[in-house]
Amino acid sequence: MEIIADLHVHSRHARATSSNLSIDNLEKYARIKGLGLLGTGDFQHPEHRKELDEKLTEDEHGILRTVNGFPFIWQTEISFMFTQGGKGRAIHLVVFAPNRKAVDKITEYLKSKGRVDYDGRPIFGMSCKDFVKDMKEIDDKIEIIPAHCMTPWFGLFGSKKGFDSLQECFEEQTKHIYAIESGMSADPQMLWRFKENVNVVSFSDLHSFWPWRIGRESTIFEIPELTYDNIIQAIRTGKGLKATIETPPAYGRYHWDGHRKCDFSCGPEKTKELGGICPICKKPLIVGVDYRVEEIAKENSNYKPENFVEYYLLLPLHELISLHLKSGMASQKVWKVYNEIIEKFGNEFDVLLNVSKEQLLGKEVNEKIVELILKNRQGKIHIQPGYDGEYGVAVLEEVQGKLF
């Protein structure tokens, strides 16, 4: 069976998330998006745990289901702030758990280290390697994945407080790290160049349930049946990972270098010309993913490992409609067109990936939007790169010359 999964999710109890994030809304918009599996998000948070226990029933395979049968797996994200190698570090890890019993043990463990009730993504002052070691002592089926691994502030390979390799971070525990999450500002092609012996997965790290957030990055699994063990086996071995769905890296919030407050951004070559200093405020630039990849890459930009997993670069459908209508993604005009398309074709991923030009035009989808959908599949929509926390912006081709 083929399942598109978004396994990096948050609850409304995490900082900077929608107050309407709920299991009901996650299920509703996952179905509209075309997702077949979600992470629970924030399982250790006491208020969210109450909702999970109320809304979801766990089966014997570690899959939680809503009353309508939509599946989830136990998942959270933890923030670690510590000193290692003489430098302050800040790393986010995604954690999956095989069942409620393991979740209870993880929660008790975290409570012994600090509070779990103030934020859905709590902060602990322990190293990543010690955390992995302790998790494996609880249950070997617990899976730990470095989150959005390239972001400057909290990515494993981040330019500000990250490491240059998995080994440098996890040391003897590296053997328990089987995958890394690409994050919005990077794609697998970039990460392959590090020659780390791990698989690349992609999940959204969503802070709201809207279709331009949920599933914007996800992983396509091809497994015999939906069980926790089969999902983890695919992540660990790569057998069962069919593809990842990625936003174009320039769309991410940390792709280029720059300063948001100075309204200045640039690519790696310009950063080198400037000596890494912002020409506006004369302070060091926030170095983005594009620059950082070149710093630690071991192979050239065309390198592919022998058993690489395919990936698709796709902007959300709302973004395409917004681009055509020149109206905000959350505007009524964009929602009207979006809902009409979903009503005709079932879900967003089918439209973005599969529905033919003839089928789209046959059901009277606007010709210009059809054009954008097809360009999106081919990676031909231009993006003004994101930087220092600002998302990248899709631009029509004829505007591109004015922007650069």
Residue range 212-222, pLDDT digits in tens: 999 999 999 99
Contact (Cβ atoms closer than 8 angstroms) between residue 41 and residue 209: no
Could you read off the pLDDT of 7-51 as tens digits, one per residue? 999 999 999 999 999 999 999 999 999 999 999 999 999 999 999
- What are the structural domains, with CATH classification, of the chain? 2-251 (3.20.20.140), 316-380 (no CATH)
**Residue that the structure tokens 């923030």 belong to:** 79
Q: Beta strands 310-313 and 241-246: pairing type?
A: parallel
Q: Is the pLDDT of residue 403 over 70?
A: no
Task: Provide the pLDDT confidence category of residue 404 given band limits of 50, 70 and 90.
Answer: very low
Q: Residue 279, SS3?
A: coil
> According to the model, what pLDDT value does residue 396 have?
84
End-to-end CA distance of the chain: 45
Quickly state the pLDDT bin for 266 (edges 50, 70, 90): very high
Instruction: Tell me the mean pLDDT in the region 159-163.
Output: 96
Q: Which residues make beta-bridge pairs with 72?
A: 38, 64
Q: Is the pLDDT of residue 401 over 50?
A: no
State whether the Cα torsion 312-315-321-325 is positive or negative.
negative
**The predicted structure's pLDDT at residue 253:** 94
pLDDT of residue 397: 63
Q: Does residue 293 carry a pLDDT above 90?
A: yes
Q: How confident is the model at residue 398, as a pLDDT?
A: 46
Provide the pLDDT for residue 291.
Answer: 97
pLDDT value, residue 402: 34
Cβ neighbours for 171, distance < 8 A, ≥ 6 positions apart: 129
Instruction: Give me 194's structure tokens.
Output: 């590090």
How does the average pLDDT of the chain come out, rounded?
96
Quick: pLDDT tens for 61-96: 999 999 999 999 999 999 999 999 999 999 999 999
- pLDDT value at 180 more than 60: yes
Place of tokens 């992609």: 202
Instruction: Determine the angle formed by the axes of helices 100-113 and 128-138, rounding to 10 degrees.
Output: 140
Q: Which contacts (CB < 8 Å, 24+ apart) does range 366-369 have?
A: 366/324, 366/337, 368/324, 369/320, 369/321, 369/324, 369/337, 369/341
Decide the pairing of beta strands 241-246 and 218-222: antiparallel
For 149, list phi and psi in degrees, rounded to 5: -65, -15
% of the chain surpassing 70 pLDDT? 98
When pLDDT is averaged across residues 157-185 and rounded to a whole number, the result is 97
Cα separation, 376 vs 246, in Å, equals 12
C-beta separation of 154 from 92 below 8 A? yes
Nearest to 37 by CA among 301, 227, 186: 227
